[in-house]
Structure 1
Amino acid sequence: MTLRVAVVGAGPAGIYAADILTKSEVDVSVDLFERLPAPFGLVRYGVAPDHPRIKEIIKALQRVLAKPEVRFIGNVDYGTDIKLEELREFYDAVIFSTGAMADRDLRIPGEDLKRSYGAADFVSWYDSHPDVPQTWDFGNGTHAAVIGVGNVALDVARVLAKTADEMLVTDIPEQVYAGLKSKKITDVHVFARRGPAYAKFSPMELRELNHSPNVEVIVHPEGFEVDDHSMEHIAKHKTHKLVLDILANWVGRDIEGKPHRIHLHFMEAPTEILGEDGEVVGLRTERTELVGDGSVRGTGEFTDWPVQSVYRAVGYASSPLLGLPFDERDLVIPNEGGRVLGLDGDHVPNTFVTGWVKRGPVGLIGHTKSDAAETVGHVLETTSETAPSREAADVDAFLRDRGIDFVTIEHWEQIDATEIALGEAQDRLRVKLPTREDMLGARES
């Protein structure tokens, strides 16, 4: 008998899990449920539009969706349209790969001020996520702060600093271009509480920060400190050494006088977002010093930076899922190697997780492959055929009876073709359909 598996979340983690399942020696069928009308998750809605190289991953993911053993079922919201006990009627195992799309808090005063933003919200806007507002309030400020030293912080800083016309070659739709055109930002300040040896940028992402003809990258020498522990750290981590070398080459270099600037500040820990009349007017940081073990401590020396907006890029957080336990400290579904653990510490039968909802938002997209392999190994070891209704038609009938307007792979191909055609008309590779209604309307009857 065919092992039937539901995967909830059709981003890279879920699609990799489906791929590994179909390559196993077990006869399987996999249905990928996705709450959006489009697959690919983070690659489509979390990667900056001016990174088409990373989006090449979509081609590999698309090949998995084309497999006869895999079905894409989009525009279905887990917890609202279908619940865990209902999935168990049709599937022998359920894998959750819902990712992490919420912002982690800094937990400093002023986070709730106007124009204090989470990076995830900004990324969703410029990536035209269909479930977020179509406008963005940049205000009239000329200086913005970005808090964080990961690739998302770099993406946010780069999009804030670049001109709208530079972004027009990407897949952004008209309202994102208009929003970027409206911003007055000339200077973006990126803050890290530790030294440059511990920055989590990838070398390629960091180098690309310096490619814009309109943006100058300035690494400030204050706080650019490297101690013995820092040297031991980079000796063990090749990418961190490459990043440190790039940054060191930029310290003190000649200023070219480009119209926009990205400032990188190390050893500055944000302590408060300053406000006036409910709006951001500054960011207060405390100078830190290296302790010698990789950590830092405050020095009591504070600086107020006159910025008019703050973007917090300190990590993504997963959200709780109906019917599953949730670890409020680590913001993941509690699990052992991908097997979901109940409140009693026992395995929840035939229920699994993979990707960021399993291990937190760490690692690059490609790292989810090995993560999915671990989870799928447990699926194949511990699962037997238990679902009473075993036909794909049963699932479709259930959704139609619920009045759910679900999207098939054929529908997605029509949406995809529409976006490509919109791009060709403007000499671009693609222009995204920005709203759910636009996407659903692109389907042929």
Structure 2
Amino acid sequence: MGAGPAGIYAADILDKSDADVTIDLFERMPAPFGLIRYGVAPDHPRIKGIVTALHKVLDKPNIRLLGNVDYGTDLKLDDLRQFYDAVIFSTGAMADRALDIPGIDLDGSYGAADFVSWYDGHPDVPRTWPLNATSVAVLGVGNVALDVARILAKTADELLSTDIPDNVYQGLKASPVTDVHVFGRRGPAQAKFTPLELRELDHSPNVEVIVYPEDIEFDEGSIAALRASKQIDMVVKTLQEWAIRDQGDRPKRLHLHFLHSPCEIVGEDGKVTGLRTERTELTGDGNVRGTGEFHVWDVQAVYRAVGYLSSHLPEIPFDHTTGTVPNQAGRVLDIDEEQVPGVYVTGWIKRGPVGLIGHTKGDAAETIASLLADAGNLTAPAVEDPDAILGFLTERGVPFTTWEGWGKLDAHEKALGVPHGRERVKVVERDEMTRISRS
């Protein structure tokens, strides 16, 4: 269940094994590729290039895509057990992790995941986004925080060469934002973004990236992290260079703040009017403590990018604290820590939303190894005909899509881009995606 990178990698590894197997990949969206299509910023074509490798997997004869099928609505676990020896859940994480500070529910306080879904043209979110702030705060210093900050700060015309839908272009074009402030509560050596993601901030001719010298502080834990990781060292060197350079005169500004812990979203008449942070100091081990020094920033919108969270799947055990399915090497465990027969997990629903897309391969390999080790003890499905599931979905009135259907939608989106010199223009509406795929 789930045709993003995690599910596709698992299918590929299983297909390459010695097992005599056919694989159906179910996907809630009418189109495959999950996070690549609906979680990666549109100005990241390098990452979107991973689709080429995933495409080759879905081209394999033993792997079948069944899209526009929602687990828990269109079918349940007992339904799947009728047709399959085993079920792997790879449903990812698309919700925002909560941040418990005063004012978090004010109008103008948003989750980064919701904003990402909007600018990536997710069919299940509204077509409009309230872009009326001139100054914006982004909480968090991971790659998603930088994506959100970059999309907010760039001009819409800079994104016109990407696959953004027209409604997103029009929304960003009307945005009055001039300043985007990114806040991290720890120091520069504890930032979670990658060197490449950081350097990309400075590529826009319209966005001035500003780092403050007083935020460049290190303790023993920071120095140890620098010595242990080439990536962290590269991030810090870039930040140090930016902190001492002269500011330019680009029309928009993206401010990177470290050692500022958000403690309250300030509001008036139910709307965001500011962000209150506490200055922190490093404690020697890379952690921080508050100093009692506070600052209120004049912002009219706040985006929290403090992590993704997976959603609870019907009939499947779930740890609401970690946002994962309890498992041992991918084998799903019940409340008594006993294995749930024939049910497995991989990807973020298994390990939490950590690591880059490449880390998903090793994760999938572990899960498939567990499944293959259990193969002799799996209960055979009641229905052996591999095409029976198609009749079941049709009888249920589920307008499922296929890999061949994706080829039609893919060609349609590319054709939409041709008159504008763009690789593609993404179709947003679910009904339209389904209609084109099933035509």
Structure 1 residue 385: Cα displacement: 5.2
Check if 1:11 corresponds to 2:11. Answer: no
Structure 1 residue 69: Cα displacement: 0.4
CA distance in 2, matches of 1:223, 1:49: 30
Question: Contact (CA 8 Å) 2:11, 2:63: kept in 1 or not?
Answer: yes
Check if 1:350 corresponds to 2:324. Answer: no
Name the residue aligned to 2:73: 80
Structure 1 unaligned segments of length 5 or more: list them.
1-7
Name the residue aligned to 2:413: 419
What secondary structure does 1:17 align onto? helix
CA distance in 2, matches of 1:149, 1:72: 36
What secondary structure does 2:115 align onto? helix
1:133 to 111, 126, 134: 126
CA distance in 2, matches of 1:440, 1:352: 29
Question: Contact (CA 8 Å) 2:317, 2:334: kept in 1 or not?
Answer: yes
Structure 1 residue 221: Cα displacement: 1.6
AA in 1 matched with 2:202: N
Measured against aligned partners, the alpha-carbon deviations of 1:234-289 in whole angstroms (never above 9, x if no partner) come to 11122111111111111021111100010000000000000011110000000001
CA distance in 1, matches of 2:419, 2:59: 27
CA distance in 1, matches of 2:384, 2:201: 51
Name the residue aligned to 1:5: none
Name the residue aligned to 1:332: 324
Check if 1:363 corresponds to 2:355. Answer: yes
Question: Contact (CA 8 Å) 1:340, 1:348: kept in 2 or not?
Answer: yes
CA distance in 2, matches of 1:206, 1:443: 37
2:27 to 34, 40, 63: 34
CA distance in 1, matches of 2:219, 2:5: 38
What secondary structure does 2:239 align onto? helix
2:431 to 424, 432, 437: 437
Which runs of structure 2 are paired with 1:186-197 in the superposition (5 Å)? 186-197=178-189
What secondary structure does 2:79 align onto? helix
CA distance in 1, matches of 2:34, 2:104: 27
Measured against aligned partners, the alpha-carbon deviations of 1:110-146 in whole angstroms (never above 9, x if no partner) come to 111111000000000000001110100012x210000
Which runs of structure 2 are paired with 1:306-321 in the superposition (5 Å)? 306-321=298-313
Check if 1:396 corresponds to 2:390. Answer: yes
What secondary structure does 2:264 align onto? strand
Name the residue aligned to 2:401: 407
Structure 1 residue 218: Cα displacement: 0.3
Question: Contact (CA 8 Å) 2:402, 2:437: kept in 1 or not?
Answer: no
TM-score by length of 2: 0.99
2:103 to 104, 110, 114: 110
Name the residue aligned to 1:178: 170
CA distance in 2, matches of 1:47, 1:161: 17
Question: Contact (CA 8 Å) 1:222, 1:265: kept in 2 or not?
Answer: no
Higher mean C-alpha deviation, range 215-224 or range 71-80:
215-224
Name the residue aligned to 1:206: 198
TM-score by length of 1: 0.97
Structure 1 residue 292: Cα displacement: 0.7
What secondary structure does 1:71 align onto? strand
CA distance in 2, matches of 1:396, 1:38: 17
AA in 1 matched with 2:231: T
Check if 1:273 corresponds to 2:268. Answer: no
Measured against aligned partners, the alpha-carbon deviations of 1:364-416 in whole angstroms (never above 9, x if no partner) come to 00110000000000011113351111222210010011000000111111011
Following superposition, which runs of at least 4 residues in structure 1 exceed 3 angstroms of deviation? none
AA in 1 matched with 2:250: K
2:15 to 13, 22, 29: 22
AA in 1 matched with 2:385: E
Name the residue aligned to 2:58: 65
CA distance in 2, matches of 1:63, 1:15: 10
1:158 to 150, 164, 183: 150
Check if 1:245 corresponds to 2:237. Answer: yes
AA in 1 matched with 2:66: I
CA distance in 2, matches of 1:390, 1:247: 59
What secondary structure does 1:349 align onto? strand
Name the residue aligned to 1:216: 208
What secondary structure does 2:22 align onto? strand
Structure 1 residue 440: Cα displacement: 1.5
Name the residue aligned to 1:428: 422
Structure 1 residue 293: Cα displacement: 1.2
AA in 1 matched with 2:118: W
Name the residue aligned to 1:380: 372
Structure 1 residue 233: Cα displacement: 1.1
CA distance in 2, matches of 1:86, 1:234: 51
AA in 1 matched with 2:50: I
Check if 1:95 corresponds to 2:88. Answer: yes
Question: Contact (CA 8 Å) 1:411, 1:444: kept in 2 or not?
Answer: yes
CA distance in 2, matches of 1:294, 1:158: 27
AA in 1 matched with 2:298: P
Check if 1:168 corresponds to 2:160. Answer: yes
Question: Contact (CA 8 Å) 2:219, 2:286: kept in 1 or not?
Answer: no
CA distance in 2, matches of 1:28, 1:397: 20
Aligned-residue RMSD, C-alpha: 0.8
Structure 2 unaligned segments of length 5 or more: list them.
none
Question: Contact (CA 8 Å) 2:219, 2:285: kept in 1 or not?
Answer: no
CA distance in 2, matches of 1:270, 1:205: 23
1:301 to 293, 308, 315: 293
Question: Contact (CA 8 Å) 2:401, 2:438: kept in 1 or not?
Answer: no
Name the residue aligned to 1:144: 136
Name the residue aligned to 1:54: 47
Measured against aligned partners, the alpha-carbon deviations of 1:53-108 in whole angstroms (never above 9, x if no partner) come to 10000010011111000000000000010101110000000000000000011110
CA distance in 1, matches of 2:166, 2:405: 24
What secondary structure does 2:101 align onto? coil
CA distance in 2, matches of 1:158, 1:417: 29
AA in 2 matched with 1:277: D
Question: Contact (CA 8 Å) 1:10, 1:34: kept in 2 or not?
Answer: yes
